[in-house]
A and B are shown apart, each in its own frame.
Chain A
Amino acid sequence: MSAAAPSSPPADVILDVRNLVTTFDTDAGTLTAVDGVSLQVRRGRTLGVVGESGCGKSVTALSIMRLLPQPMGRIRAGQIIFEGEDIAAIPIEAMRRIRGGKIGMIFQEPMTALNPVHSIGRQLSEVFLLHRNRDRSEALRLSVEMLTKVGIPSPEIRVSEYPHQLSGGMRQRVVIAMALACSPSLVIADEPTTALDVTIQAQILDLMRALQRDLGMAIVLITHDLGVIAEMCDDVVVMYGGRVAESGPVDRIFRSPSHPYTRGLLQSIPRLSTPRKSRLSVIEGMVPGLADLPPGCRFQNRCPHRIDACASQPTLGVVSSGHEVACHRWRDLPVAAEVRS
Chain B
Amino acid sequence: MSAPLLEVRDLQMHFPVKEGVFQRARKVCRAVDGVSFALRPGETIGLVGESGCGKSTLGKCIVRLHRPTAGTIRFDGLDLAPLSASQLKPHRRHLQMIFQDPVESLNSRHTVGDILAEPFLIHGLGDAAWRRRKVLDLLGKVGLPASAADRYPFEFSGGQRQRIGIARAIALEPRLVICDEPVSALDVSIQSQVLNLLLDLQREMGLSYLFIAHNLAVVKHVSDRVAIMYLGRIVEFAEADDAYRDARHPYTRALISAIPEPSPHRARERIVLAGDVPSPINPPGGCPFHTRCPHATERCRVEAPALREVPGRPDHTVACHYDLV
Contact = CB atoms under 8 A, between A and B. Distances in A.
Question: Are A and B co-members of a single complex?
Answer: yes
Interface of A: 52-53, 167, 169-170, 197-203, 205-206, 224-233, 250-251, 254, 264-266, 268-272, 274, 276-283, 286-287, 302, 341
25 contacts: A170-B276, A197-B277, A198-B258, A199-B254, A199-B258, A199-B272, A200-B276, A202-B270, A202-B273, A225-B260, A227-B261, A230-B262, A230-B266, A254-B262, A269-B191, A270-B192, A271-B261, A271-B262, A272-B259, A274-B217, A276-B221, A276-B222, A276-B224, A280-B192, A282-B189
A258 B274 CA distance: 40
Most buried by B among A251, A269, A302: A269
Given A197-B214, A198-B50, A269 B220 contact: no
Interface stretch (B22-30, B71-79, B193-201, B280-288): B193-201
A270 B191 CA distance: 9
B51 A254 contact: no
Contact of B189 (A197, A229, A254, A265): A265
Interface in B248-281: 254-266, 270, 272-274, 276-277
Contacts of A206: 270, 272
B273 A254 contact: no
A146 to B, nearest CB: 20
A206 B221 CA distance: 27
Interface of B: 50-51, 157, 159-160, 187-193, 195-196, 199, 214, 216-218, 220-224, 240-241, 244, 254-266, 270, 272-274, 276-277
Contacts of A205: 260
Contacts of B218: 270
Nearest to A277: B199
Nearest to A270: B221
A276 B223 contact: yes
Contacts of A229: 262
A268 B214 contact: no
A183 to B, nearest CB: 25
A200 B53 CA distance: 14
A265 B260 contact: no
Contacts of A279: 196, 199
Contacts of B254: 199
A286 B160 contact: yes
A280 B189 contact: no
Given A264-B189, A268-B188, A203 B272 contact: yes
A196 to B, nearest CB: 9
A227 B157 contact: no
A203 B50 CA distance: 14
A270 B189 contact: no
Nearest 3 A/B pairs, CB to CB: A227-B260, A270-B221, A280-B192
A280 B217 contact: no
Contacts of B193: 282
